[in-house]
Structure 1
Amino acid sequence: MLTVLALVGTTTTAEADGAGDPQPGSPAYLARDVANLAAAYGRITGPGGQLANPRYLPALIREATLLTTTQLLTQVATPTRPVLSAGQLVPGWNVGNPLRAGWNGTRGVSTRVSFLNRYGALLRGTVHAPRPGRRDPYTGAVLEGPFPGVVITPGSVQGSEGMYSWLAQDLAERGYVVLTYDVQGQGTSETLPHVNHGALPSCDPFAEPVDGNLLGCPGVPFQQLANFTTGTEDALDFFLSQANPYLDRLDRSPDPRSATPGRDGRIAIIGHSLGAAAVSQVQGTDERVAAVVALDKLQGPGEEGAEGQPADVVPEVPALAVQSEYGFTVSPALLSGGSTLLPAPGLPVPTRERATGYDDWLAAGKDAMLVVPRASTHLEYTDIPLVLPASRHGQALTSSYVQAFLDRYLKHAPSTEALLGTTLRYLEPVGGGEWRPVTLDRDANLSFYYCSAHSLRSGPLAQGPRQVDGDLTGVGCSE
């Protein structure tokens, strides 16, 4: 029997379910908002967070030193593949959560990989898979392959694959084969293309742009949507090729119970930030994709995508949208009248997160779920050491929902119970090879400013009655 660590939110149960909420501008409202602002730094300052765990700093120094040395040696060994990125130049940038050291070979297995994208640039990544003979750490069931697949596309502004290994590992040890990778120009992937696929980098910046690139030098600059859409597609190509070291564990059989008529694959794509805009787009055109998860934010048809770039989206597959209250900075409620990236005077609008893509999925008749973690920021989904705001339990909540969502749409869990329950379980690394069980109360860990919602079929995936709740915690949204 697992020992359960109960977690208490920053508000009372009455506040969590919307009953008796304080009036905007009142002392109680301001006090609650201040508590929420402080909770947005919980990953660093909260109980058990990075500063409070004595194992964290020694593990960070050890893992960052090892990783930085390995990256430098790799660059020396491949001089014609120059990497000019924060992930290469800033020590520890790619380390992720150092408390997860030792996962490979114990809880699961992982192998570093590299592959060429369509422009000849070398992309690097990692494939994670279940360890043979391992049991599901939550249910105790033996993990028997072959397994569904997942490809995770990072966020922009120099997001790197190491920042997302937490989710890849969580999924792999529950029976998924997962690829994380760096898009061109980020992490440890090559910065420049080889348009003629020769030994040296080459391109013509004055040539006609291709595949949505901004310039004639494909993949340059790295901060453009095309890097993430083509990156996702090229990563899928590699994932399904003989070059994937765990291809034999990947379930490539047709899925007769697919939720999307005409699509019978068993692969999900997950993206964060500009990666979320990319996977929102790719799911509509790539028939290999059976489900999509967007981490801040899901994009709908005709919407302005991340970093102001236009989204070209057709909802086709079930979507899970995990979206944040704050952007890169944390703003008081009285300045939350705009988007997460562009705060403006005004109170939070409860339906804000529904409007970025979730409602478009509903209009298209597709299964969808929207989750807004309490005190969450745009950096929830990236493991970054000792800097930038993120809540204490945003990753735990997110991983729990992603696991349940993919179990439903890739493994065909018989019901939506795991998605709609009010208690979530998670195993959190605390260092020294120890993973500690945590229990999360759903309502205490979802936003009291913005609605979470779902529209899911409760019967067989392509039919049956639809369960709809437009406001899981009662913050004032309509159905």
Structure 2
Amino acid sequence: MRRILNRGVGVSLLMLALGACGRSAPTASLAAAGGDHPGGDTAGIDLRCDDAAYPSAQWTSCEAQNYAKILEAPVEEAANPAFVTRWIEQSAANQFDYTARDLDDPSWLLASSPLLTALLNTPPSELAQTLQDRIAAIQADPTAAISLPLNAPLVPLCSTWSLQCTGDPYRYPQVAGADGRFYTEEAEVVPIVFYDDGCARLSGHVWLPKNAPADARLPTIVIDNGSIQAPETLYWWAAQLLVRNGYMVMTYDPRGQGRSDWQTPSGGQGGNIDTSVFVTGLVNAIDFLHSTPSQPYPENQTCAGRYPTAVTGYNPYFDRIDRDRLGVAGHSAGAFGASIVQGLGADGAAPWFGKLDAHNPVKVIVAWDALAVGDPGAPLSEGYAAVPRVPALSLMSEYVSPAGSSATSIATTAAPYLTPPDPDDHLLAYQAFADAGVPVFAITIAGATHFDFSLLPTFPASSWCPQLVNGACSGGWGLPLIEHYTLAWFDRWLKKPGEAGYADADARLLDDDGPQGRLKMSWHFHSARDYPARGGREERCNNLRRGCTAS
């Protein structure tokens, strides 16, 4: 798994370079299945690509059409002046908001270092003595030498939430469209700042459905970002989706990401330098979510006084949570974090180390590219092993994906397949969960990339904003499938009778012939499920695209 995670990191770096190069190509006109399939009844999907012999002209043609989907998003964005204008406007607004924050609280910036400030304000005649005093202080406490935030407009990458880091530019309060009105009509969204266990400041939001009954205790979801170029803004599509369907949501930037601190006061790193923060930070986030006035978030107390920044003492909506109904969604390195955290406390895994729950409270996870497992005898990052414990959905892409185990190079995974890959290569984690008797569902999306889950304008991905409806992006290829199964999986394991989404969760998960079903599933890699429906029937299928009937 360490190799898979590192491969994902390299893929992200590679695609940053590709995005900067501005590659473009015509949009594919045919579906990845090998033909044009409009919505509606898709029971008779075209399996010619699945059955195409290799090598053959047909197999090569199918792969060319499939691969062309990765440029649908950048092409449609560039061709839509309204999208480009809205993106530029929001990028500038985000840059302004970032600057205003740092002017209001300069401790977020490197230039605010107490050491630097003291030296600049010291008269020349006293400078030698001041330096001696500082050296003595550093000798007494070595961490004083590096007690700097090291934050700057480009560090962490995406700290401004501008340019590509804006994400979907229509999902902001400034927009008159449906996803902009969301903030006044459908949700209460509160910004938060809290310390992680290394005293780095983490920036985030808590999202509450506005129209939920005042006495309702809601299921909750924490979203764990991907790495490098993935601030929380890229996952606001998921926050809006879940809030609209009755969930409280917490989004945040892990250490080294977005608007959170690049490092701890003692020099502890984040992001891809120390990938364990996608595990430890997620546990910290769960602690914050479960904090109350009588049980304040503990790391804020431990780290009090590190910075003048005002932190949020506890979850502002603490009284609206059902603590027995917690789910986690994570992308890329965040999917790795979710995979590890769900298993904490299980046999062969590290113990649960949250401070406000005696036992692991996570009940279900969704891993966006991709679910991870690990042999307890071969521990993963910082001694953590991903041990199957709770129901898991793995949604995966075909291109630029850290899923699977093959030794295919990064360059090849960013390019068309030249030979057929192992069709079961994306089912390794799935099989480990199934063998452990833990409910699991795994889907690889045809023609999708790693960035179908994080909506970065200009980055290679299948269509996600082909048209604007009521001032919001609508339609697309990979994203509607991701939304469909993410919501249905959480509804299956977290909703109660009488709540929206409870009654038809299984029907949505089993809608193989619907518009988000097997039509959009990869013909390179098998998609599969092994979980019990609420009626008690075991739903098992090792190749969903071929079609599955009763178990």
Q: Which secondary structure state, in structure 2, belongs to the residue aligned with residue 245 of structure 1?
A: coil
2:46 and 2:480 map into 1 onto residues whose CA distance is 18
Residue 475 of structure 1: how far off its partner (Å): 9.6
One-letter identity of the residue aligned with 2:490: L
2:484 and 2:412 map into 1 onto residues whose CA distance is 29
Residue 105 of structure 1: how far off its partner (Å): 1.4
2:86 and 2:488 map into 1 onto residues whose CA distance is 30
Alignment pair present for 1:127 and 2:177:
no
Instruction: Give the one of 362, 370, 389 matched to 2:434.
Output: 362
Alignment pair present for 1:33 and 2:33:
no
> Larger Cα Rg: Structure 1 or Structure 2?
2
Alignment pair present for 1:77 and 2:104:
yes
One-letter identity of the residue aligned with 1:39: K
One-letter identity of the residue aligned with 2:237: W
Contact 1:122 1:190 in 2 (8 A): yes
Counterpart for residue 105 of structure 1: 184
Contact 1:422 1:443 in 2 (8 A): yes
Per-residue CA deviations over 1:415-466 (Å, capped at 9, x if unaligned) read 6211011355xxxxxxxxxxxxxxx342221111111110111236xxx331
Counterpart for residue 418 of structure 1: 508
Q: Which moved more, 1:107-116 or 1:33-42?
A: 107-116
Counterpart for residue 277 of structure 2: 227
Q: CA RMSD in A?
A: 3.1
Per-residue CA deviations over 1:114-149 (Å, capped at 9, x if unaligned) read 11111111100122221226xxxxxxxx89832100
Normalized per residue, the structure richer in helix is: 2
Instruction: Give the one of 60, 71, 87 matched to 2:87.
Output: 60
1:309 and 1:382 map into 2 onto residues whose CA distance is 26
Counterpart for residue 137 of structure 1: none
Counterpart for residue 206 of structure 1: none
Identity of aligned residues (%): 26
Q: Which secondary structure state, in structure 1, belongs to the residue aligned with residue 192 of structure 2?
A: strand
Counterpart for residue 200 of structure 1: none
Residues 69-468 of structure 1 mapped to structure 2, 5 A cutoff? 69-82=96-109, 83=151, 84-88=155-159, 91-101=162-172, 102=180, 103-132=182-211, 145-194=216-265, 203=266, 217-220=267-270, 222-242=272-292, 243-252=314-323, 265-285=324-344, 286=352, 287-302=360-375, 312-327=385-400, 338-339=407-408, 341=410, 343=412, 346-355=419-428, 357-391=429-463, 392-412=476-496, 413-414=502-503, 416-422=506-512, 440-459=515-534, 464-468=536-540
Counterpart for residue 427 of structure 1: none
1:308 and 1:50 map into 2 onto residues whose CA distance is 37
Alpha carbons of 1:16 and 1:320: their partners in 2 closer, same or farther (altered >3 Å)? farther
Residue 53 of structure 1: how far off its partner (Å): 3.7
One-letter identity of the residue aligned with 2:282: T
Q: Which runs of 5+ in 2 are unaligned?
A: 1-28, 36-41, 110-150, 173-179, 293-313, 345-351, 353-359, 464-475, 497-501
1:120 and 1:156 map into 2 onto residues whose CA distance is 20
2:89 and 2:271 map into 1 onto residues whose CA distance is 33
Residue 308 of structure 1: how far off its partner (Å): 8.9
Counterpart for residue 259 of structure 1: none
Contact 1:328 1:388 in 2 (8 A): no
Alpha carbons of 1:277 and 1:92: their partners in 2 closer, same or farther (altered >3 Å)? same
2:62 and 2:79 map into 1 onto residues whose CA distance is 24
Contact 2:444 2:525 in 1 (8 A): yes
Contact 2:50 2:524 in 1 (8 A): no
Residue 8 of structure 1: how far off its partner (Å): 7.4
One-letter identity of the residue aligned with 1:241: S
Residue 309 of structure 1: how far off its partner (Å): 8.5
Q: Which secondary structure state, in structure 1, belongs to the residue aligned with residue 204 of structure 2?
A: strand
Alignment pair present for 1:473 and 2:500:
no
Per-residue CA deviations over 1:356-386 (Å, capped at 9, x if unaligned) read x111100110111001111011111111112
One-letter identity of the residue aligned with 1:187: G
Contact 1:104 1:110 in 2 (8 A): yes
Residue 346 of structure 1: how far off its partner (Å): 3.8
1:346 and 1:176 map into 2 onto residues whose CA distance is 43
What TM-score, normalized to structure 1? 0.77
One-letter identity of the residue aligned with 2:31: G
One-letter identity of the residue aligned with 1:326: Y
What TM-score, normalized to structure 2? 0.67
1:90 and 1:79 map into 2 onto residues whose CA distance is 18
Alpha carbons of 1:410 and 1:226: their partners in 2 closer, same or farther (altered >3 Å)? same
